[in-house]
A and B are shown apart, each in its own frame.
Chain A
Amino acid sequence: MDFLTLLQVLDSTVRLATPLLLACLAGLFSERAGIFDIGLEGKMLAAAFLSAAIAFVTESAWIGLLAGIGASMVLAGIHGLASITFRGNQLISGVAINFLAAGMTVLVAQSWFSQGGRTPSLMSGGRFEPVTLPFAEALSGVPVLGPIYTELLSGHTVLVYLAFAMVPLTWWILFRTRFGLRLRAVGENPAAVDTAGVSVVGLRFAAVAICGVLCGIAGAYMATALQAGFVKDMTAGRGYIALAALIFAKWRPWYALGATLLFGFLQAIALRPDVIEAVLSFRVQVQLLDALPYILTVVILAGFVGKAVPPRAGGEPYVKER
């Protein structure tokens, strides 16, 4: 494998890790506040559909993004209602949201566009365009560092840079602000937060809302930046992989970056059978490549996590003492 191929693989790693990273950080906020969320997948899917649909109609990727966030927020609201207000089972609520998104997106897409449950392909205005970082052209001649800058770091859409900027921001919010301290406390010991006179319900809803926003960006990225339009079930289990990455990262933002880059890399090499063949020097079944990210998710969860301790109050509805 030559240097340029490696750069190409790493470049698609960054692209493919972006939705995972956003979804993983979304889950991080929610689970740190004690709300399990396996509905990341559904929220991304709904956002992917609505952002593509609105971007197609308005020919503006930004309005599409807002619509995608809106769709994701509605589902987040349902999850909050079920798991916070009515103290229901958070896993079941998440599963319901995933199915709701899977069904509704196709139903509405068929009703609006009649193209077999997908949106029409987006033209240039409806998509996020790659951003060329300053001096990318000028520096491309510099050996080693030049191609890394032009090929790998430059030329992504603005959402990719936003996703990576979210990592330090998440760290700062969670570990350096009062809101973050309370958010983490509510996931560990909600009764203590309640005793201190801070609203458990309010904090948890705030966390679920942040989760909704981030999933919305992740979904919109899938449909309007990574690809050009929505197709049925296009998230293909990314929400679940993001959850696995979250456990692998032990609910910490910087580790989440590492974990999602790893999963992004697995998806990137699964797309390049020629590279795998060149490295391993034998043919690998295409089905094995398809299953590879899922198999490795299981392997990583089983073998390398060590002891991952989730937030202590995770999954438990809080009942105020009377």
Chain B
Amino acid sequence: MDVMPKWAEVVLVPLISLVLAFLISALVILGIGENPVNAIRVMVSGALGSAYGWGFTLYYATNFIFTGLAVAVAFHARLFNIGGEGQALIGGLGVAFVCLYIPWPHWSLALLGATAGAAIFGAIWAAIPAWLQAKRGSHIVITTIMFNYIAAALLSYMLTEQIKAPGSDPASAFFPDATNLPTFYDMFSWTGLGFSEFTPANVSFLIALLACLFVWVLIWRTKLGYEIRAFGHSEPAAKYAGISPTKIIMVTMIISGALAGMMAINNVMGEAERLNLNAAEGAGFIGIAVALMGRSHPIGVFMAALLFGFLYQGGAELAFSTSIPSQLIIVIQALVILFTGALDNMVRMPLERIFLTLRRPPKPETKLEAAE
């Protein structure tokens, strides 16, 4: 079984897959008549070259940590939650209700309330497909995709008919000042890191880090996490061990949906400070790439989210200063999903062969030594 050492499996395979994905992305940039080296330069300077860029990179990374963890938790039970986008949209609705209709005295309390609201709304949106999968046998992949479309329609209805603010855009009113979260500008002005007043990265980045810790504890340090993993490895074995499939599917998807929904405290409450259409901006889908690249481990998800935060901000800079549309990020995301999630054996098989040939020669010697 273990042909390769663990470090190669955990670091080398994803890294080579990633390099392949980026090489092909570079070819795509060449193909549409742009210069990939120049593109990388624009992306790096735009995303990492200044405190301004870092503010955006970390803001996007916060979104992707939440959605990446959501997909990762579901992956552990071998459930494929493609509904992160819809869950994040509905989570935004939860945040909007909490912030608009409850008079909060201080942002810290509002943050707790909004986190709960986002998590509950996201969880409900994931619980319906979960129930349909567990009880009615509907395929969770198809139902979660359908729920993305339904969420978009529901949000559009709410924002044009129910909680629309006066004015032309389909958006809610701005949330009261007491609910506005401190941004990195407010938090780090004393350090001289130079975050500007318009930095979107905010205190929810810390909540995202806590969420990483929570997922690690949940999956590897609790009985429930053990049951989730057991169910993911083998459903019949888990059933035989007395684990209820219905319970695991429901609980896993509720946690997954809650995590995806919690993204809304970053983008809706922390950044936009009101709810608008397309609030999730595809972050729910990027969560799939993030979870695959991070191999469903919170540390991996965190690092992959940083990478995608960089790509997203860099891609926005690219669209701004060159003629490369921001859809480039979707292509890169697709290639990362393809190479790390579906073509991983293409990288693994040759690597295994290399490790086998490297390992073979010393073996007879050790045997001889043992015989002596």
Contacts and interface: CB of A to CB of B under 8 A. Distances in A.
Interface string B132-147: 1000111101110111
A54 interface: no
A92 B342 contact: yes
Interface string B324-363: 1101111111110110011111100100000000000000
Given A89-B342, A301-B142, A103 B331 contact: yes
B328 A103 contact: yes
Given A91-B141, A103-B330, A297-B142, A96 B335 contact: yes
B20 to A, nearest CB: 13
B338 A100 contact: yes
B331 A107 contact: yes
Contact of A307 (B28, B137, B161, B341): B137
B288 interface: yes
Q: Which of A86, A95, A100, A243 has the most CB of B within 10 A?
A: A95
B48 interface: no
A88 interface: yes
Contacts of B145: 237, 240
A81 B346 CA distance: 9
Given A78-B338, A100-B334, A297-B146, A107 B325 contact: yes
Interface in B280-337: 285, 288, 292, 323-325, 327-335, 337
B132 A83 contact: no
B338 A87 contact: no
A93 B338 contact: yes
A109 B324 CA distance: 11
A316 B147 CA distance: 26
Interface in A75-99: 78, 81-83, 86-93, 95-99
Q: Tell me if B's interface is mostly helix, strand, loop or mixed.
A: helix
B157 interface: yes
B328 A82 contact: no
Contacts of B345: 86-88
B142 A91 contact: no
A110 interface: yes
Interface residues of B, number: 49
A98 B285 CA distance: 11
Given A110-B325, A287-B157, A99 B337 contact: yes
A98 to B, nearest CB: 8
B80 interface: yes
B154 A287 contact: yes
Contacts of B285: 99
Given A117-B327, A291-B154, A92 B138 contact: no
B160 A287 contact: yes
Contacts of B31: 108
A107 B328 contact: yes
A36 to B, nearest CB: 9
Contact of A82 (B132, B338, B349): B338
Contact of B341 (A87, A89, A294): A89
Contacts of A83: 342
A244 interface: yes
B138 A298 contact: yes
Interface string B143-163: 101110110011011001100
A38 interface: yes
B364 interface: no
A62 to B, nearest CB: 26
Interface string A283-312: 001011011001101100111010110000
Nearest to B348: A86
B157 A91 contact: no
A81 B333 contact: no
Contacts of A98: 334
Contacts of A291: 149-150, 153-154
27 contacts: A38-B141, A81-B343, A81-B346, A86-B342, A91-B141, A95-B82, A95-B337, A95-B341, A100-B331, A102-B330, A103-B327, A103-B331, A103-B334, A106-B327, A107-B324, A107-B328, A108-B31, A108-B32, A117-B327, A240-B145, A247-B139, A294-B147, A295-B146, A295-B150, A303-B136, A305-B137, A308-B137
Question: Which 8 residue pairs across A and B have the least CB separation, nearest first?
Answer: A103-B330, A99-B334, A291-B153, A93-B342, A103-B331, A96-B338, A92-B341, A88-B342
Interface of A: 38, 78, 81-83, 86-93, 95-100, 102-104, 106-108, 110-111, 117, 237, 240, 243-244, 247, 285, 287-288, 290-291, 294-295, 297-298, 301-303, 305, 307-308
Given A102-B334, A103-B327, A305-B137, 14 more contacts: A92-B292, A96-B334, A97-B334, A97-B338, A99-B330, A99-B334, A107-B324, A244-B146, A287-B153, A287-B154, A295-B150, A301-B132, A302-B138, A302-B143
